[in-house]
Chain A
Amino acid sequence: MFHVLAKSSGPLAPHSGYVDLLEKPKNKKDLKDLLIPVQVYSADPQTRLGITAGICILIKNMPETKGDRYEAIYSFHLGDYGQISVQGAYVTTEDTYLSVTGGTGVFAGAYGQVKLQQLVFPFKVFYTFYLQGLSADMPAELLVTPVPPSPAVEASPAAKAAEPRATSPNYSD
Protein backbone atom coordinates (compact mmCIF):
# COMPACT_ATOMS: atom_id res chain seq x y z
CA MET A 1 0.00 0.00 0.00
CA PHE A 2 1.26 3.41 -0.65
CA HIS A 3 -0.07 6.86 -0.54
CA VAL A 4 0.24 9.74 -2.86
CA LEU A 5 -0.78 13.30 -2.54
CA ALA A 6 -1.84 15.04 -5.66
CA LYS A 7 -2.34 18.73 -6.09
CA SER A 8 -3.89 20.27 -9.12
CA SER A 9 -3.48 23.70 -10.48
CA GLY A 10 -6.72 23.68 -12.40
CA PRO A 11 -10.22 22.33 -12.20
CA LEU A 12 -10.31 18.62 -12.70
CA ALA A 13 -6.78 18.59 -13.92
CA PRO A 14 -4.94 15.41 -13.21
CA HIS A 15 -4.55 14.94 -9.57
CA SER A 16 -1.76 16.04 -7.47
CA GLY A 17 -1.37 14.54 -4.17
CA TYR A 18 1.09 13.43 -1.68
CA VAL A 19 2.20 9.94 -2.19
CA ASP A 20 2.72 7.75 0.75
CA LEU A 21 4.06 4.43 -0.25
CA LEU A 22 3.64 1.54 2.07
CA GLU A 23 3.36 -1.75 0.37
CA LYS A 24 1.01 -4.19 1.97
CA PRO A 25 0.91 -7.71 0.59
CA LYS A 26 -2.80 -8.21 0.83
CA ASN A 27 -5.70 -6.58 2.35
CA LYS A 28 -6.28 -3.02 2.48
CA LYS A 29 -7.32 -1.80 5.85
CA ASP A 30 -5.75 1.61 5.95
CA LEU A 31 -7.11 3.85 3.40
CA LYS A 32 -5.27 6.89 2.54
CA ASP A 33 -6.90 8.81 -0.07
CA LEU A 34 -5.24 10.40 -2.88
CA LEU A 35 -6.42 13.24 -4.87
CA ILE A 36 -5.73 13.59 -8.43
CA PRO A 37 -4.09 16.89 -8.90
CA VAL A 38 -1.48 17.69 -11.44
CA GLN A 39 1.63 17.27 -9.36
CA VAL A 40 2.29 14.21 -7.35
CA TYR A 41 4.16 14.43 -4.08
CA SER A 42 5.23 11.88 -1.54
CA ALA A 43 2.94 11.37 1.39
CA ASP A 44 5.01 13.41 3.85
CA PRO A 45 4.79 15.55 1.45
CA GLN A 46 8.42 16.44 1.15
CA THR A 47 9.29 15.07 -2.26
CA ARG A 48 7.97 15.81 -5.68
CA LEU A 49 7.47 12.50 -7.44
CA GLY A 50 5.82 13.27 -10.71
CA ILE A 51 2.51 13.92 -12.36
CA THR A 52 -0.81 12.40 -13.18
CA ALA A 53 -2.11 12.43 -16.73
CA GLY A 54 -5.40 11.32 -18.12
CA ILE A 55 -8.99 12.13 -18.68
CA CYS A 56 -12.21 12.40 -16.75
CA ILE A 57 -15.38 11.71 -18.67
CA LEU A 58 -18.45 13.29 -17.16
CA ILE A 59 -21.08 10.62 -16.67
CA LYS A 60 -23.72 12.26 -14.61
CA ASN A 61 -24.45 15.53 -12.92
CA MET A 62 -26.09 15.12 -9.53
CA PRO A 63 -27.67 18.42 -8.60
CA GLU A 64 -29.14 17.06 -5.38
CA THR A 65 -25.70 16.50 -3.94
CA LYS A 66 -24.05 19.27 -5.99
CA GLY A 67 -21.67 16.71 -7.31
CA ASP A 68 -20.71 14.95 -10.49
CA ARG A 69 -19.82 11.40 -11.39
CA TYR A 70 -16.90 11.00 -13.74
CA GLU A 71 -15.24 7.98 -15.23
CA ALA A 72 -11.52 8.63 -14.85
CA ILE A 73 -8.80 6.94 -16.86
CA TYR A 74 -5.31 8.12 -16.05
CA SER A 75 -1.83 7.25 -14.94
CA PHE A 76 0.55 8.33 -12.22
CA HIS A 77 3.96 9.04 -13.74
CA LEU A 78 6.58 8.77 -11.04
CA GLY A 79 9.83 9.45 -12.85
CA ASP A 80 12.38 6.67 -12.83
CA TYR A 81 10.16 4.55 -10.62
CA GLY A 82 7.68 4.04 -13.44
CA GLN A 83 3.99 4.59 -13.76
CA ILE A 84 0.72 3.21 -12.44
CA SER A 85 -2.41 3.17 -14.61
CA VAL A 86 -5.85 3.37 -13.06
CA GLN A 87 -9.44 3.43 -14.19
CA GLY A 88 -12.64 3.97 -12.31
CA ALA A 89 -15.22 6.26 -10.84
CA TYR A 90 -14.48 9.72 -9.59
CA VAL A 91 -17.40 11.23 -7.72
CA THR A 92 -16.72 14.76 -6.62
CA THR A 93 -18.67 14.49 -3.39
CA GLU A 94 -17.38 11.22 -2.00
CA ASP A 95 -14.45 8.87 -1.77
CA THR A 96 -14.19 6.23 -4.45
CA TYR A 97 -12.10 3.24 -5.38
CA LEU A 98 -10.52 2.81 -8.77
CA SER A 99 -9.04 -0.27 -10.40
CA VAL A 100 -5.29 -0.43 -10.87
CA THR A 101 -5.03 -1.61 -14.44
CA GLY A 102 -1.26 -1.88 -14.68
CA GLY A 103 2.14 -0.41 -14.08
CA THR A 104 5.66 -0.08 -15.38
CA GLY A 105 9.10 0.11 -13.77
CA VAL A 106 8.96 -0.88 -10.11
CA PHE A 107 5.21 -1.14 -10.54
CA ALA A 108 5.36 -3.62 -13.42
CA GLY A 109 2.73 -6.29 -13.07
CA ALA A 110 0.74 -4.22 -10.61
CA TYR A 111 -2.90 -4.96 -9.96
CA GLY A 112 -5.27 -4.06 -7.19
CA GLN A 113 -7.19 -0.96 -6.26
CA VAL A 114 -6.63 2.58 -5.15
CA LYS A 115 -8.72 4.70 -2.85
CA LEU A 116 -9.27 8.30 -3.76
CA GLN A 117 -9.98 10.84 -1.03
CA GLN A 118 -10.60 14.44 -1.84
CA LEU A 119 -9.16 16.89 0.60
CA VAL A 120 -9.98 20.07 -1.27
CA PHE A 121 -12.12 19.69 -4.35
CA PRO A 122 -10.73 19.65 -6.94
CA PHE A 123 -7.25 20.66 -5.96
CA LYS A 124 -5.96 18.22 -3.39
CA VAL A 125 -6.44 14.50 -3.47
CA PHE A 126 -4.98 11.84 -1.27
CA TYR A 127 -4.52 8.35 -2.71
CA THR A 128 -3.98 5.04 -1.08
CA PHE A 129 -2.81 2.33 -3.42
CA TYR A 130 -3.29 -1.33 -2.55
CA LEU A 131 -0.88 -2.92 -4.97
CA GLN A 132 -0.31 -6.56 -5.61
CA GLY A 133 1.75 -8.32 -8.18
CA LEU A 134 4.93 -6.31 -7.68
CA SER A 135 8.08 -8.26 -8.20
CA ALA A 136 9.88 -6.61 -5.29
CA ASP A 137 9.21 -4.29 -2.41
CA MET A 138 9.00 -0.65 -3.28
CA PRO A 139 12.09 1.48 -2.86
CA ALA A 140 12.67 2.81 0.61
CA GLU A 141 12.50 6.37 -0.65
CA LEU A 142 8.85 5.89 -1.46
CA LEU A 143 7.99 4.50 1.95
CA VAL A 144 7.48 7.54 4.07
CA THR A 145 5.35 8.19 7.07
CA PRO A 146 2.32 9.97 5.78
CA VAL A 147 1.11 13.28 7.04
CA PRO A 148 -2.50 12.69 8.03
CA PRO A 149 -4.68 13.86 5.19
CA SER A 150 -6.48 17.11 5.76
CA PRO A 151 -7.47 20.09 3.66
CA ALA A 152 -4.56 22.08 5.01
CA VAL A 153 -1.87 19.76 3.74
CA GLU A 154 0.69 21.49 1.60
CA ALA A 155 3.74 20.22 -0.15
CA SER A 156 6.97 21.54 1.30
CA PRO A 157 8.31 24.64 -0.42
CA ALA A 158 11.34 22.73 -1.59
CA ALA A 159 9.18 20.07 -3.18
CA LYS A 160 6.98 22.61 -4.85
CA ALA A 161 10.00 24.38 -6.22
CA ALA A 162 11.31 21.01 -7.36
CA GLU A 163 14.65 21.59 -5.75
CA PRO A 164 17.07 18.74 -6.38
CA ARG A 165 17.02 17.38 -2.86
CA ALA A 166 13.25 17.38 -2.77
CA THR A 167 12.54 15.47 -5.95
CA SER A 168 12.66 11.82 -6.93
CA PRO A 169 15.00 10.68 -9.68
CA ASN A 170 13.97 12.16 -13.03
CA TYR A 171 10.62 13.10 -11.61
CA SER A 172 7.97 13.40 -14.29
CA ASP A 173 6.96 16.89 -15.24
Chain B
Amino acid sequence: MAAASASLQSFPSNLKLSRTTGVTTASASSFLSFKNSINPVFCKKLAANVNVSGSRKTFLVKNQVNPSDASRPTKVHQLCVYEINERDRGSPAYLRLGQKPVNSLGDLVPFTNKVNSLILILDFSFFVYDNKDLKVLPNLVQVYSADLQTRLGITAGICILIKNMPETKGDRYEAIYSFHLGDYGQISVQGAYVTTEDTYLSVTGGTGVFAGAYGQVKLQQLVFPFKLFYTFYLQGLSADLPSELLVTPVPPSPAVEASPAAKATEPGSTGPNFSD
Protein backbone atom coordinates (compact mmCIF):
# COMPACT_ATOMS: atom_id res chain seq x y z
CA MET B 1 0.00 0.00 0.00
CA ALA B 2 2.84 2.35 0.75
CA ALA B 3 4.33 1.81 -2.65
CA ALA B 4 0.99 2.36 -4.24
CA SER B 5 0.38 5.61 -2.46
CA ALA B 6 3.85 6.85 -3.23
CA SER B 7 3.15 6.37 -6.88
CA LEU B 8 -0.05 8.31 -6.61
CA GLN B 9 1.51 11.68 -6.15
CA SER B 10 0.49 12.96 -9.50
CA PHE B 11 -3.10 13.90 -8.94
CA PRO B 12 -4.64 17.19 -9.75
CA SER B 13 -4.44 19.27 -6.68
CA ASN B 14 -4.86 22.73 -8.06
CA LEU B 15 -7.33 23.83 -10.59
CA LYS B 16 -7.58 27.12 -12.26
CA LEU B 17 -9.64 28.16 -15.18
CA SER B 18 -8.79 31.34 -16.90
CA ARG B 19 -10.33 32.56 -20.08
CA THR B 20 -7.42 33.64 -22.15
CA THR B 21 -6.79 34.28 -25.74
CA GLY B 22 -3.49 32.48 -25.46
CA VAL B 23 -2.30 29.61 -23.40
CA THR B 24 0.93 29.69 -21.51
CA THR B 25 2.36 26.36 -20.68
CA ALA B 26 5.32 25.41 -18.58
CA SER B 27 8.13 23.87 -20.52
CA ALA B 28 7.61 20.49 -18.92
CA SER B 29 3.90 20.45 -19.50
CA SER B 30 2.00 17.90 -21.46
CA PHE B 31 -0.55 19.48 -23.70
CA LEU B 32 -3.96 18.16 -24.37
CA SER B 33 -5.91 19.94 -27.02
CA PHE B 34 -9.16 19.20 -28.68
CA LYS B 35 -11.23 21.24 -31.01
CA ASN B 36 -14.87 21.31 -31.65
CA SER B 37 -15.40 23.24 -34.81
CA ILE B 38 -18.69 23.71 -36.53
CA ASN B 39 -18.38 26.98 -38.36
CA PRO B 40 -15.47 29.22 -37.53
CA VAL B 41 -17.41 32.38 -36.94
CA PHE B 42 -15.76 33.25 -33.68
CA CYS B 43 -13.46 31.40 -31.42
CA LYS B 44 -13.61 31.14 -27.67
CA LYS B 45 -10.75 29.54 -25.82
CA LEU B 46 -10.93 28.15 -22.35
CA ALA B 47 -7.80 27.03 -20.64
CA ALA B 48 -7.73 24.91 -17.54
CA ASN B 49 -4.39 24.58 -15.82
CA VAL B 50 -4.09 21.53 -13.69
CA ASN B 51 -1.05 21.58 -11.50
CA VAL B 52 -0.01 18.05 -10.90
CA SER B 53 2.58 18.05 -8.13
CA GLY B 54 5.31 19.76 -10.00
CA SER B 55 4.36 18.94 -13.56
CA ARG B 56 1.82 21.10 -15.23
CA LYS B 57 -0.81 19.58 -17.36
CA THR B 58 -2.75 21.97 -19.47
CA PHE B 59 -6.05 21.45 -21.14
CA LEU B 60 -6.98 23.66 -24.00
CA VAL B 61 -10.57 23.64 -25.03
CA LYS B 62 -11.29 25.50 -28.19
CA ASN B 63 -14.82 26.05 -29.29
CA GLN B 64 -15.65 27.51 -32.62
CA VAL B 65 -19.27 28.27 -32.40
CA ASN B 66 -21.79 28.82 -35.12
CA PRO B 67 -24.12 31.66 -34.15
CA SER B 68 -27.09 29.41 -34.73
CA ASP B 69 -25.57 27.06 -32.17
CA ALA B 70 -24.45 29.87 -29.87
CA SER B 71 -27.16 28.92 -27.42
CA ARG B 72 -25.19 25.86 -26.36
CA PRO B 73 -23.12 26.99 -23.41
CA THR B 74 -19.39 26.41 -23.60
CA LYS B 75 -18.32 27.17 -20.06
CA VAL B 76 -16.38 24.27 -18.62
CA HIS B 77 -17.63 23.04 -15.29
CA GLN B 78 -15.45 20.73 -13.31
CA LEU B 79 -16.92 18.05 -11.15
CA CYS B 80 -15.01 15.39 -9.27
CA VAL B 81 -16.47 12.22 -7.85
CA TYR B 82 -15.23 9.16 -6.10
CA GLU B 83 -16.60 5.80 -7.20
CA ILE B 84 -16.12 3.16 -4.59
CA ASN B 85 -17.00 -0.51 -4.68
CA GLU B 86 -18.14 -1.50 -1.23
CA ARG B 87 -18.83 -5.02 -2.41
CA ASP B 88 -22.40 -4.94 -1.28
CA ARG B 89 -24.12 -4.63 -4.66
CA GLY B 90 -23.11 -7.93 -6.25
CA SER B 91 -20.93 -5.94 -8.60
CA PRO B 92 -19.19 -6.49 -10.91
CA ALA B 93 -20.77 -9.48 -12.62
CA TYR B 94 -18.04 -10.88 -14.80
CA LEU B 95 -19.67 -12.79 -17.66
CA ARG B 96 -16.97 -14.89 -19.19
CA LEU B 97 -18.76 -15.28 -22.51
CA GLY B 98 -15.48 -15.50 -24.35
CA GLN B 99 -15.11 -18.90 -22.73
CA LYS B 100 -11.39 -18.78 -22.38
CA PRO B 101 -9.27 -19.23 -19.30
CA VAL B 102 -7.94 -15.70 -19.63
CA ASN B 103 -9.91 -12.53 -20.15
CA SER B 104 -10.78 -12.36 -23.81
CA LEU B 105 -12.92 -10.55 -26.31
CA GLY B 106 -16.51 -11.48 -25.68
CA ASP B 107 -16.45 -11.09 -21.92
CA LEU B 108 -18.99 -8.64 -20.56
CA VAL B 109 -18.92 -7.00 -17.16
CA PRO B 110 -22.10 -5.28 -15.96
CA PHE B 111 -21.40 -3.23 -12.87
CA THR B 112 -22.82 -0.77 -10.42
CA ASN B 113 -20.92 1.11 -7.73
CA LYS B 114 -21.58 3.93 -5.30
CA VAL B 115 -20.62 7.50 -5.97
CA ASN B 116 -19.24 10.21 -3.75
CA SER B 117 -18.74 13.40 -5.50
CA LEU B 118 -16.35 16.19 -5.41
CA ILE B 119 -17.13 19.33 -7.23
CA LEU B 120 -14.71 22.02 -8.18
CA ILE B 121 -15.70 25.05 -10.13
CA LEU B 122 -13.17 25.99 -12.68
CA ASP B 123 -13.45 29.72 -12.46
CA PHE B 124 -12.50 29.79 -8.83
CA SER B 125 -8.97 30.55 -7.81
CA PHE B 126 -6.53 27.87 -6.98
CA PHE B 127 -7.66 25.26 -4.56
CA VAL B 128 -5.05 24.35 -2.05
CA TYR B 129 -5.21 20.91 -0.62
CA ASP B 130 -4.39 20.60 2.98
CA ASN B 131 -3.31 17.15 3.84
CA LYS B 132 -6.12 15.83 5.87
CA ASP B 133 -5.69 12.66 7.76
CA LEU B 134 -7.58 10.01 5.92
CA LYS B 135 -9.22 7.23 7.74
CA VAL B 136 -8.68 3.75 6.43
CA LEU B 137 -12.05 2.23 5.72
CA PRO B 138 -13.17 -0.74 3.68
CA ASN B 139 -13.81 -0.06 0.04
CA LEU B 140 -17.39 0.46 -0.98
CA VAL B 141 -19.15 0.88 -4.28
CA GLN B 142 -20.78 4.20 -3.96
CA VAL B 143 -20.42 7.65 -5.36
CA TYR B 144 -19.52 10.14 -2.69
CA SER B 145 -18.82 13.82 -2.67
CA ALA B 146 -15.19 14.67 -3.11
CA ASP B 147 -14.72 15.46 0.51
CA LEU B 148 -16.19 11.99 0.98
CA GLN B 149 -18.86 13.33 3.30
CA THR B 150 -21.89 12.89 1.09
CA ARG B 151 -23.30 9.90 -0.69
CA LEU B 152 -24.61 11.07 -4.03
CA GLY B 153 -25.66 8.01 -5.93
CA ILE B 154 -24.43 5.15 -8.04
CA THR B 155 -22.83 4.23 -11.32
CA ALA B 156 -24.54 1.69 -13.55
CA GLY B 157 -23.46 0.21 -16.84
CA ILE B 158 -21.32 -2.30 -18.59
CA CYS B 159 -17.71 -2.91 -19.48
CA ILE B 160 -16.94 -4.87 -22.62
CA LEU B 161 -13.57 -6.59 -22.58
CA ILE B 162 -11.62 -5.61 -25.66
CA LYS B 163 -8.16 -6.90 -25.06
CA ASN B 164 -6.19 -8.72 -22.45
CA MET B 165 -2.65 -7.39 -22.12
CA PRO B 166 -0.59 -9.98 -20.29
CA GLU B 167 2.62 -8.01 -20.64
CA THR B 168 1.26 -5.24 -18.46
CA LYS B 169 -1.11 -7.52 -16.54
CA GLY B 170 -3.93 -5.29 -17.59
CA ASP B 171 -7.08 -5.29 -19.66
CA ARG B 172 -8.68 -2.83 -22.00
CA TYR B 173 -12.44 -2.44 -21.70
CA GLU B 174 -14.95 -0.27 -23.51
CA ALA B 175 -17.20 1.13 -20.81
CA ILE B 176 -20.69 2.49 -21.33
CA TYR B 177 -22.32 3.68 -18.15
CA SER B 178 -24.04 6.47 -16.29
CA PHE B 179 -23.60 8.26 -12.99
CA HIS B 180 -26.98 8.52 -11.28
CA LEU B 181 -26.87 11.34 -8.77
CA GLY B 182 -30.35 11.39 -7.30
CA ASP B 183 -32.33 14.54 -7.81
CA TYR B 184 -29.42 16.24 -9.53
CA GLY B 185 -29.83 13.96 -12.53
CA GLN B 186 -27.47 11.68 -14.36
CA ILE B 187 -24.39 11.88 -16.57
CA SER B 188 -23.83 9.31 -19.32
CA VAL B 189 -20.33 8.41 -20.41
CA GLN B 190 -18.66 6.11 -22.87
CA GLY B 191 -15.06 5.31 -23.50
CA ALA B 192 -11.98 3.29 -22.72
CA TYR B 193 -11.20 1.81 -19.35
CA VAL B 194 -7.71 0.39 -19.10
CA THR B 195 -7.01 -1.24 -15.80
CA THR B 196 -3.38 -0.20 -15.64
CA GLU B 197 -3.62 3.47 -16.54
CA ASP B 198 -5.74 6.60 -16.41
CA THR B 199 -8.12 7.16 -19.29
CA TYR B 200 -10.52 9.74 -20.64
CA LEU B 201 -14.09 8.95 -21.53
CA SER B 202 -16.62 10.92 -23.53
CA VAL B 203 -19.53 12.54 -21.79
CA THR B 204 -22.40 11.58 -24.05
CA GLY B 205 -25.20 13.36 -22.25
CA GLY B 206 -26.95 14.20 -19.03
CA THR B 207 -30.28 14.87 -17.42
CA GLY B 208 -31.48 17.19 -14.67
CA VAL B 209 -28.85 19.80 -13.81
CA PHE B 210 -26.58 18.05 -16.28
CA ALA B 211 -29.01 18.28 -19.21
CA GLY B 212 -27.24 19.11 -22.43
CA ALA B 213 -23.88 18.10 -21.01
CA TYR B 214 -20.98 17.27 -23.25
CA GLY B 215 -17.28 17.08 -22.71
CA GLN B 216 -14.99 14.50 -21.19
CA VAL B 217 -14.20 12.84 -17.93
CA LYS B 218 -10.88 11.62 -16.61
CA LEU B 219 -10.83 8.29 -14.83
CA GLN B 220 -8.12 7.63 -12.27
CA GLN B 221 -7.88 4.37 -10.45
CA LEU B 222 -6.85 4.62 -6.84
CA VAL B 223 -7.27 0.98 -5.90
CA PHE B 224 -8.06 -1.42 -8.74
CA PRO B 225 -10.93 -2.13 -9.08
CA PHE B 226 -12.50 -0.69 -5.98
CA LYS B 227 -11.79 3.01 -5.81
CA LEU B 228 -11.84 5.39 -8.71
CA PHE B 229 -11.56 9.14 -8.88
CA TYR B 230 -13.27 11.00 -11.71
CA THR B 231 -12.78 14.52 -12.90
CA PHE B 232 -15.55 15.71 -15.20
CA TYR B 233 -15.00 18.56 -17.61
CA LEU B 234 -18.58 19.42 -18.46
CA GLN B 235 -19.80 21.93 -20.98
CA GLY B 236 -23.25 22.69 -22.24
CA LEU B 237 -24.81 23.09 -18.81
CA SER B 238 -27.56 25.65 -18.66
CA ALA B 239 -26.49 26.90 -15.23
CA ASP B 240 -23.68 26.53 -12.75
CA LEU B 241 -23.68 23.42 -10.65
CA PRO B 242 -25.58 23.77 -7.38
CA SER B 243 -23.61 25.31 -4.56
CA GLU B 244 -24.27 22.40 -2.26
CA LEU B 245 -22.14 20.31 -4.58
CA LEU B 246 -19.13 22.56 -4.06
CA VAL B 247 -16.95 20.97 -1.48
CA THR B 248 -13.29 21.10 -0.68
CA PRO B 249 -11.79 17.96 -2.14
CA VAL B 250 -9.94 15.29 -0.30
CA PRO B 251 -6.78 14.53 -2.26
CA PRO B 252 -7.20 11.26 -4.09
CA SER B 253 -5.12 8.43 -2.72
CA PRO B 254 -5.63 4.73 -2.16
CA ALA B 255 -6.48 5.30 1.47
CA VAL B 256 -9.51 7.51 0.94
CA GLU B 257 -12.65 6.33 2.60
CA ALA B 258 -16.13 7.69 2.86
CA SER B 259 -17.15 9.06 6.23
CA PRO B 260 -19.11 6.62 8.38
CA ALA B 261 -22.19 8.84 8.16
CA ALA B 262 -22.07 8.87 4.38
CA LYS B 263 -21.63 5.13 4.21
CA ALA B 264 -24.58 4.61 6.50
CA THR B 265 -26.51 7.07 4.29
CA GLU B 266 -27.58 9.10 7.28
CA PRO B 267 -29.90 11.96 6.33
CA GLY B 268 -27.35 14.72 6.66
CA SER B 269 -24.80 12.88 4.58
CA THR B 270 -26.66 12.13 1.40
CA GLY B 271 -27.65 14.02 -1.71
CA PRO B 272 -31.38 14.58 -2.24
CA ASN B 273 -33.07 11.30 -3.21
CA PHE B 274 -29.63 9.81 -3.73
CA SER B 275 -29.68 6.93 -6.21
CA ASP B 276 -29.29 3.48 -4.76
Chain A residues positioned under 8 Å from B176 (CB to CB): 73, 87
Interface centre among B69, B204, B213, B236 (most CB of A within 10 A): B204
Say yes or no for B173: interface residue by CB 8 A criterion.
Answer: no
The stretch of B98-106, B180-188, B260-268 in contact with A is: B180-188
Contacting residues, chain A, for B230 (C-beta < 8 A)? none
A59 B156 Cβ-Cβ under 8 A? yes
Q: Are B236 and A111 in contact (CB under 8 A)?
A: yes
Task: Select the residue from B156, B176, B190 with max chain A CB neighbours within 10 A.
Answer: B156
Given contacts A87-B178, A97-B207, A101-B205, contact A132 B212 (CB under 8 A): yes
Q: Which residues of B contact A112 (CB under 8 A)?
A: 205, 211-212
Task: Check: A88 CB closer than 8 A to any chain B CB.
Answer: yes
Interface string of B147-183 (1 = CB under 8 A from A): 0000000101110000000000000000011101000
Q: Does A104 contact B (CB under 8 A)?
A: no
A113 at the interface (CB under 8 A from B): yes
Contact A71 B177 (CB under 8 A): yes
- Shortest CB-to-CB span from A99 to chain B, Å, is 3
Closest residue on chain B to residue A85 by CB atoms: B204
Chain A residues within an 8 Å CB radius of B212: 111-112, 132
Give residues of chain B (208-224) contacting chain A, Cβ–Cβ below 8 Å: 208, 211-214
Which residues of chain A in 102-151 are interfacial with respect to chain B, using CB atoms and an 8 Å cutoff?
A: 102, 111-113, 130, 132-133, 135
CA distance A71 to B212 in the complex (A): 19
What is the bound-complex CA distance between A57 and B177, given in angstroms?
10
A89 contacts chain B at the CB level, 8 A cutoff: yes
B176, closest chain A residue (CB) = A73
Q: Kindly provide the distance from the CB of A34 to the nearest chain B CB, expressed in whole angstroms.
A: 14
Q: Is B271 part of the contact surface with A, judged by Cβ < 8 Å?
A: no
- Given A87-B178, A112-B211, are A71 and B157 neighbors across the interface (CB < 8 Å)? yes
Knowing A71-B178, A89-B180, A97-B207 touch, does A57 contact B69 (C-beta < 8 A)?
A: no
What's the Cα separation between A98 and B204 when bound, in Å? Answer: 11
Task: List which A53-85 residues lie within 8 A (CB) of chain B.
Answer: 57-60, 69, 71, 73
- Assuming A89-B180, A99-B188, A99-B207, what are 12 further A-B pairs, CB within 8 angstroms? A57-B110, A86-B205, A87-B178, A87-B205, A88-B188, A89-B186, A89-B275, A97-B186, A98-B188, A99-B206, A112-B205, A113-B207
The 10 closest A-B pairs by CB, nearest first: A99-B205, A97-B207, A101-B204, A99-B188, A71-B156, A113-B207, A59-B156, A87-B188, A59-B112, A101-B205
Interface, chain A (partner B; CB < 8 A): 26, 57-60, 69, 71, 73, 86-89, 97-102, 111-113, 130, 132-133, 135
